[in-house]
């Protein structure tokens, strides 16, 4: 019963915000899907990948030549690419959220002006729905951006730390 009520509240909120709010919602779902995927990679898959690279490096007999340095750089570069995968997409989605909120503001204000043109300035109820349609997407875009901004920065710093730990784990002779 609680779940059904929650779904109804969310559906009503999305309808009050207009079509742009649906766009923000789907962007937020994609954003959080990518954030969760990155955390899952860092927790589950990266330690296995890191161990494999470290084992390959430590199995080398020679680790001081120019060629060995380039192999080490290649390992670090390959793992850095895996660590940073989708982080730029997360940052892009975070930057898009406030812009989509602004788009919602513009479309809501257009709805207010349409009501004013059709009925004059006397119908406050009709104008209120347009103003609601203007403010809800703005707030939603900002909240979505703030939630993604924190976790995007956290993922970026974790990736940098893991890259440094990997570089430290591949000693040169």
DSSP codes, 31-81: HHHHHHHHHHIIIIIHHHHHHHHHHHHHH-S--SSHHHHHHHHHHHHHHHH
User: What is the pLDDT, as a whole number, of residue 86?
Assistant: 94
Q: Per residue of the chain (173 residues), what is the pLDDT tens digit? A: 788 888 888 888 888 777 888 899 999 999 999 999 999 999 999 999 999 999 999 999 888 899 999 999 999 999 999 999 999 999 999 999 999 999 988 888 887 787 777 777 667 777 777 787 788 889 999 999 999 999 999 999 999 999 999 999 999 87
| 154-165: burial string, b at 16+ Cβ within 10 Å, e else | ebbebbeebbee
């Amino acid at each position: 019963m609680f779940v059904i009520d929650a779904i109804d509240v969310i559906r009503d909120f999305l309808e009050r915000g207009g079509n742009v709010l649906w766009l923000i919602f789907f962007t937020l779902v994609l954003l959080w899907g990518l954030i969760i995927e990155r955390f899952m990679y860092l927790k589950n898959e990266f330690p296995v990948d890191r161990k494999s690279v470290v084992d390959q490096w430590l199995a080398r007999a020679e680790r001081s030549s120019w060629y060995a340095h380039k192999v080490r750089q290649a390992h670090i570069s390959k793992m850095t690419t895996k660590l940073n995968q989708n982080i730029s997409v997360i940052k892009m989605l975070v930057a898009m959220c406030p812009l989509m909120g602004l788009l919602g503001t513009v479309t809501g204000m257009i709805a207010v002006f349409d009501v004013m043109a059709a009925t004059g300035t006397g119908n406050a109820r009709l104008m209120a729905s347009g103003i609601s349609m203007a403010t809800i997407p703005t707030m939603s875009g900002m909240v979505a951006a703030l939630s993604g901004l924190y976790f995007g920065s956290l993922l970026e710093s974790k990736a940098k730390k893991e890259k440094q730990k990997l570089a430290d784990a591949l000693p040169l002779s």
